Amino acid sequence: MDVVIGQAFTGLSTGSILLLAALGLSLTFGQMGVINMAHGELMMAGSYTAYVTQQVFSASGVSLPVSLVAGFALGGLMGLALETLLIRHMYHRSLDTLLATFGVGLVLQQLARDVFGAPAVNVVAPGWLTGGVAVLGTVIPKARLFMMALAVVCVVALAVVLKATPLGRRIRATVQNRDLAETAGIPTRRIDRATFFIGSGLAGVAGVALTLIGSTSPTIGQSYLIDAFLVVVVGGLGQIKGAVIAAAALGLLNSFVEFSTTASVAKVILFVVIVIFLQIRPQGLFTVRTRSLA
């Protein structure tokens, strides 16, 4: 029994990591349709922010909250720069965007290597996040509990922004019908930038969170990029609740399959399941219903 509980927790925890990685993407890719292959590098920027913050504030209890804020800001600003300088020129050409942002990702990786060195750096988790809590015969690592809580906070915050603020209404209006939104006086360009800022900022937050479970290397973001895309695609483009359910489902599926087989086999089975699922439901779990013709 404790195995089932342990694995269920592991699954949800893996899901929450996937969700953190995918949440920003569900905005930039899901809402705006931009395939940003540099999303992983925005996460990496967040991870190194945590590292630099730790060098400045040696007490890591302080540096974690600081780095979450700084990571969001840095990720967001980098995303903003990327959108302004590059992506907006390619809004009609998704394939070009993909290649260009992939190139930007490589440049950022090399930049990180030059600045911080090729060896992975280590961010020390604060004392109150080390060790685990014994629950129902299993041990749950505190760092993973924190990441789950962080994922919940990010989802709720994003949902509130999208559903209950003027900015959120404008974002949704722009997504559903750009021409009509513009006619109604919504500055859609500014909305694009704001959306991209938030989405990229969330990538930075995810990057900070990743430092709690592993080391920080220039390729840290790349390893989560594919999984993040999968979550967004399975959840349905532009659907936060879709992303939440998809992340949890993929995490649970992965953890239980991995427990009875191996990590590599689990990954294969996961991909097979996703491919079959997308054959049946190419639009993902949820779709936005609009009356627009687009």
Partner 1 sequence: MADPAPKGHLMRSRHLVVLPAVIAAATLLLTGCGNRAGDTSTPAAKASCVDTSGSTVKVGSVYSLSGSTALNEVPINDSVKMAVDEINTSGGILGKQLQLITEDGASEPTVFAEKAQKLVSSDCVAATFGGYTSASRKAMLPVFEDDNALLYYGQQYEGLEASKNIFYTGATANQQIVPALDYLKQKGVRSLYLVGSDYVFPRTSNAIVKAYAAANGITIKGEDYVPLGGTDFSTVVNKIRTAGADAVFNVVVGDSLTSFFREYNSAGLKAATMPVMSMVVGEQEVASIGAQNLVGQPTTAAYFETVDTPANKKYVADFTAKYGQNRVTADSMAGAYAAVYAWKAMVEKAKSFDTAAIQQAAGGVTVEAPEGTITVDGTNHHITKTTRIGVIQADGQISTEWQSPGVVAPDPFLTSYPWAKGLQTG
Pick the closer one to partner 1 by CB: 115 or 164.
115
**Can residue 16 be called a binding residue for partner 1 (CB under 8 A)?**
no
3-class SS of residue 108: helix
Judge contact between 147 and 212, C-beta under 8 A.
Answer: yes
Pick the closer one to partner 1 by CB: 164 or 262.
262
What span, in angstroms and rounded, lies between the C-alpha atoms of 287 and 281?
10
**Can residue 282 be called a binding residue for partner 1 (CB under 8 A)?**
yes
Region binding partner 1 by CB under 8 A among candidate stretches 46-54, 65-73, 162-170, 226-234: 226-234
Q: DSSP secondary-structure letter at 28? A: I
**Can residue 61 be called a binding residue for partner 1 (CB under 8 A)?**
no
What span, in angstroms and rounded, lies between the C-alpha atoms of 175 and 135?
43
**Can residue 94 be called a binding residue for partner 1 (CB under 8 A)?**
yes
Q: How far is the CB of 33 from partner 1 (least distance, A)?
A: 5
Interface of this chain with partner 1, residues 178 to 207, rule: CB under 8 A: 178-179, 182, 188-189, 192
**Can residue 157 be called a binding residue for partner 1 (CB under 8 A)?**
no
**Can residue 114 be called a binding residue for partner 1 (CB under 8 A)?**
no
What span, in angstroms and rounded, lies between the C-alpha atoms of 99 and 95?
6
Beta strands in 87-145 (DSSP E): 132-135, 138-141
Q: Which of 86, 106, 116, 267 binds partner 1 (CB under 8 A)?
A: 267
Q: Residue 44 corresponds to which amino acid? A: M
Rg (CA), the chain: 19
Pick the closer one to partner 1 by CB: 121 or 244.
121
